[in-house]
Amino acid sequence: MSKPERIQGVRGMNDVLPADEALWTRFEEAVASTMRAYGYQRIRTPIVEHTRLFVRGIGEVTDIVEKEMYSFTDALNGEMLTLRPESTAGVVRSVIEHNLLYDGPKRLWYTGPMFRHERPQKGRYRQFHQVGAEALGLAGPDADAEVILLCHRLWSDLGLNGVKLEINTLGQPDERRAHRAALIEYFERHLDVLDEEARRRLHSNPLRILDTKNPQMQPLADAAPRLIEFLGEASLAHFEGLQSLLRSQNIPYRINPRLVRGLDYYNLSVFEWVADGIALCGGGRYDPLVEMLGGRAAPGCGFGIGVERVLERMRAEAVDLGGGGCDVYIVHQGAGVLEPALQAAERLRDAGLDVILHAGGGGFKAQFKRADASGAFVAVVLGEDEAARGEATVKWLREASAAPGEGRQQSVALEALAQTIIDALVADGDDA
Ligand code: HAM
């Protein structure tokens, strides 16, 4: 019989292995506590939605809808379905479907995998994760400032320094229409400089031409008519309102007039958090979306954070992940002490400690290797004689945790084991 094929994961879709768990956990805990701090409630929507939700919500002439969606026909009933490329459309769909705005505004957050058929490279995957927040039913620039402040607090909770804020305004649909007409006229006068993609987009989505990655078209894009020249008083006031709130909270920002975002639902404020040219987070206001998806008009704003990109940044900035491993690794002499060892492990867990009880046999030396690799703070050693005396040896695995004068090893009564370890952990935490 020939050897069975070794099946690989799908390109651009990654496993998250235990080695990265400490990083993910550090991030996820910071997210959960930041969302709580701003009164955002978690919402979980399905990964699969009707294709037309994204076509209508994100926009027909966008990269996502034109070429990046994983869409398929449900073989059982012929429905056109899509793996969500982002979550704002799904969250808004759910808010409308369940009438969540009936009693006032809602602050929602979510996290989970998203799917885009992009060319995989570092920081760009086909399955990636987002954390997002959506503030629905709030029209003022204070809501825009709130979601930006929330991100800012998250970066600082994570100890990230190099993440910079860029903002822009897209105005209202009628202001954009006037600007759009001016843009088409301008680009038509310079058809010879436009590449194929730009020509294709000239009449369908000329705004996206400003977002060109083609260096030959850069000077043309730079000199194009600016939207700000077409904005009315209310839109200008909204943008100025956001900026003055950001200034009042000492949040540095840069206005990037070229920031247009890749989804069509936005109006007024848009923003991105960028580190070394990579967008870690993108968001903005999307007042037209609720109505576009069939709900009673209601304003909204929010953001989506690319989790893998933030984790990469955490690695680059060597963010402290804390211990990451368990608290205690119990090393023991085997069958003869298994029962007292199990008993000790359960008591330690009762006291709230995370414990690995060695399994699989092996001598003390091999077991200590495992204890070291586990990241445990302390090894508890249980030999037959000690167990008979109701004692164990505690070996501090991290230098800082050795209590002064007590060396790296001490004998402790089993009854006092949990308290001794907890006291040392607390003292260690105080030092940190
Ligand atoms: P987005 O800019 O398309 O916005 O995505 C948000 C973030 O997701 C990006 O800044 C990036 O960090 C990450 N991201 C996007 N595509 C990939 C990929 N292929 N691989 C890895 N990371 C990626 C949205 O999705 C909007 N729903 C954000 C929003 C929420 N606006 C208002 N509310």
Q: Do residues 305 and 375 both lie within one domain?
A: no
What integer pLDDT is reported at residue 211 of this predicted model?
78
Q: Do residues 276 and 360 both lie within one domain?
A: no
Whether 186 maps to a domain, the answer reads no
What integer pLDDT is reported at residue 405 of this predicted model?
41
What integer pLDDT is reported at residue 400 of this predicted model?
55
Which range is least confidently modeled, 45-49, 145-149, 351-355? 351-355
Higher pLDDT, 281 or 61: 281
Q: Do residues 22 and 128 both lie within one domain?
A: yes
Domain end among 316, 337, 364:
316
Which atom of ligand 1 is closest in space to residue 88's alpha carbon?
A: 27
Q: Whole domain around residue 289: which residue ranges?
A: 18-171+231-316
What integer pLDDT is reported at residue 324 of this predicted model?
59
Whether 189 maps to a domain, the answer reads no
Closest-CA residue, ligand 1 atom 25, reads: 86
Q: Do residues 275 and 335 both lie within one domain?
A: no
Whether 217 maps to a domain, the answer reads no
What integer pLDDT is reported at residue 432 of this predicted model?
43
Q: Do residues 284 and 350 both lie within one domain?
A: no
Report pLDDT digits (tens) over 263-278: 889 999 999 999 999 9
Q: Do residues 243 and 385 both lie within one domain?
A: no
Which range is least confidently modeled, 1-5, 92-96, 414-418? 1-5
Closest-CA residue, ligand 1 atom 30, reads: 303
Which atom of ligand 1 is closest in space to residue 124's alpha carbon?
A: 20
Q: Do residues 28 and 166 both lie within one domain?
A: yes
- Confidence check: pLDDT of 430 > 60: no
Q: How confident is the model at residue 406 (pLDDT cuts 50, 70, 90)?
A: very low
Q: Do residues 270 and 133 both lie within one domain?
A: yes
Q: Do residues 275 and 395 both lie within one domain?
A: no
The tokens describing 430, both together, are 């105080």
Q: Provide mean pLDDT across the span 108-123.
A: 97
Report pLDDT digits (tens) over 93-110: 999 999 999 999 999 999
Ligand 1 centroid distance, CA of 334 (Å)? 52
- Confidence check: pLDDT of 328 > 50: yes
Residues with CB under 6 A from ligand 1: 86-88, 116, 118, 123-125, 128, 130, 132, 134, 262-263, 279-284, 286, 302-304, 306, 308-309
Domain end among 247, 282, 316:
316
Which atom of ligand 1 is closest in space to residue 132's alpha carbon?
A: 30
Ligand 1 centroid distance, CA of 378 (Å)? 41
Residue the block writes with tokens 């109006």: 267
Q: How confident is the model at residue 151 (pLDDT cuts 50, 70, 90)?
A: very high
- 429 burial via Cβ count (<10 Å: 0-12, 13-18, 19+): exposed
Probe target for ligand 1 pocket from 309, 312, 313, with the most ligand atoms within 8 Å of CB: 309
Which range is least confidently modeled, 103-107, 203-207, 356-360, 420-424? 203-207
Report pLDDT digits (tens) over 157-166: 999 999 999 9
Task: Supply angle C-alpha 51, 55, 57, rounded to 5.
Answer: 110
